[in-house]
Amino acid sequence: MEKVSLPKGTRDFGPTQMAKRLFLINSIKKVFQKYGFQPLETPAMENLSTLTGKYGEEGDQLLFKILNSGDFLKDVEAAKLETRNSKLITSDIAEKGLRYDLTVPFARYVVMNRHEITFPFKRYQIQPVWRADRPQRGRYREFYQCDADVVGTDSLLCETEIILMIKEAFASLGIADFSIKINHRAILSGLAEIVGAAQNESALFVAIDKLDKIGEEKVKEELKAKGFDDASLTLLFDILNFKGTTAEKVDFLTTKFSSSEKGKKGLSDFSEVLSLLKKFGATDEHVEFDISLARGLSYYTGCIFEVKISNVGVGSVSGGGRYDNLTAVFDSKEKSSGVGFSFGIDRLYDAMEELKIFPKEASAASTVLVAHLDEESFTFGLKIAQSLRDRNVACEIYPDQSKIKKQLEYADKKKIPFVIVIGSEEVKTGQLTLKKLESGQQLKLTFQEIADAMQLYK
């Protein structure tokens, strides 16, 4: 036998996983659609000129590149080839690469279609992306991203609706215990200003971002090494460590930010989001003002979000924020402010498995198997199966004349919950035997009674 395997870091999703993944993805899709977001799909392959330089040097290394078709070496200069310098030769032999995220393809789509698009443009996109990263637990070379963005408006309504969508998605997934951490880039800038680090913002944000992972002491050390003095650090951690309700935090920062225009702007945006939330008739339950939330991506310019589920061993399952100019990488003239967020499908999946909250309906199994004892029963069963399908019940009839034991095993292994067993008695009387596999319970019912009962399990 030829040995077959999967490429490192890639996965098959069999029926059981697929059913759960589809439940997850479809639940989120429904929420996106309810809020007016529209689906977009872009190709797996992009020109490397579209992708390169958008993810930093490390990102460029992690792009999967596609070898040109045909005689790809034909036009490579001999001298260049002799250097054996892979990096140098790559662009000669590979023009295309696999999508690394959904943001750059989205920006490309907006630039290419800006005359047809009606702004504000609300799109969602759920597709796999590929990264030539070293595979490890929870990190794959192919994984799905699930993004929603609005571009073409700076209304804070969008931020507020993101909060509503996250809450609604989690409600439909059955996730009850979670927090939506919110901060604002301008609040961070205000913080930098008042601790005298306005010129050194990014060092400050990078350090703060690690608080969760390495703790206060290590962050202080790092900042000291970068030239922060004791007075600044004391002031900084007085603010970062302030405990209180959201309103108390806002009040506290208002006094601190009396001399920082940026800080005031950030606070005012954040308060407006909370106010809009109330006007929508929603509460700020699950919303947490987290002054230490920085998020790595430097293109954020306004509100930033991050969502964590309590009591599970996965990191943040959703995040996002406002950016000033999505399409800047392609088009410096036209500004397209927007705000976006994404759900981490793999992490949400893991969290729901850990919490054991996937509903029973998240199954790919048929609802009913029609089993049969002889050929006459088989023939009789065909009509039964088809009548159930006519009533939208997912149904199979065992295809071969096999022992009843084998047929029941088939249902059991495939987790088909109900079996209708047909023998000569059933054919004669029309009274059918319905077996519930989980409990072993057996009932004699008419077809109509079975069909009615199955409506509950569709």
The contacts of residue 122 (CB under 8 Å, 6+ apart) are: 35, 36, 37, 38, 148, 149, 150
Closest separation in Å from C-beta 301 to its own copies = 17
Question: What does the radius of gyration of the chain's CA atoms come to, in whole angstroms?
Answer: 28
**Using the rule CB under 8 A, is 365 a contact of its own copies?**
yes
Q: Which is nearer to its own copies, 95 or 284 (CB)?
A: 95
Q: Which is nearer to its own copies, 386 or 431 (CB)?
A: 386
Closest separation in Å from C-beta 129 to its own copies = 10
Q: Which is nearer to its own copies, 223 or 273 (CB)?
A: 273
CB 54 within 8 A of CB 104: yes
Residues 398 to 437 in contact with its own copies, rule: CB under 8 A: 399-400, 410, 413-414
Closest separation in Å from C-beta 220 to its own copies = 37
Q: Give dist(CA 293, CA 296) in Å, integer.
A: 10
**Using the rule CB under 8 A, is 44 a contact of its own copies?**
yes
Q: Which is nearer to its own copies, 168 or 346 (CB)?
A: 168
Angle between helices 375-390 and 447-454 (to 10 degrees): 40
**Binder of its own copies out of 57, 58, 70, 255 (CB under 8 A):** 70
**Strand pairing partners for 96?**
47, 66
Q: In the chain, what is the straight-line distance between the N-terminal and C-terminal CA atoms, in Å?
A: 41
**Using the rule CB under 8 A, is 259 a contact of its own copies?**
no
Q: Which is nearer to its own copies, 318 or 366 (CB)?
A: 366
Closest separation in Å from C-beta 72 to its own copies = 5
**Using the rule CB under 8 A, is 135 a contact of its own copies?**
no
- Whether cis (ω within 30° of 0) applies to the bond prior to 120 is yes
**Which of 280, 274, 442, 290 shows the shortest CA–CA distance to 371?**
442
- Residue range at the interface with its own copies (CB under 8 A); choices 125-133, 234-242, 340-348, 429-437: 125-133
**Which of 323, 424, 320 shows the shortest CA–CA distance to 379?**
424
- Residue range at the interface with its own copies (CB under 8 A); choices 79-87, 188-196, 236-244, 256-264: 79-87
**Binder of its own copies out of 25, 132, 198, 427 (CB under 8 A):** 132
Closest separation in Å from C-beta 388 to its own copies = 9
**Binder of its own copies out of 333, 360, 403, 405 (CB under 8 A):** 333
CB burial string 74-87: b at 16+ within 10 A, e below: eeeeeeeeeeeeee
Q: Can you list the positions of beta strands (E) in 251-382?
A: 287-289, 300-309, 318-323, 338-343, 368-372
**Using the rule CB under 8 A, is 307 a contact of its own copies?**
no
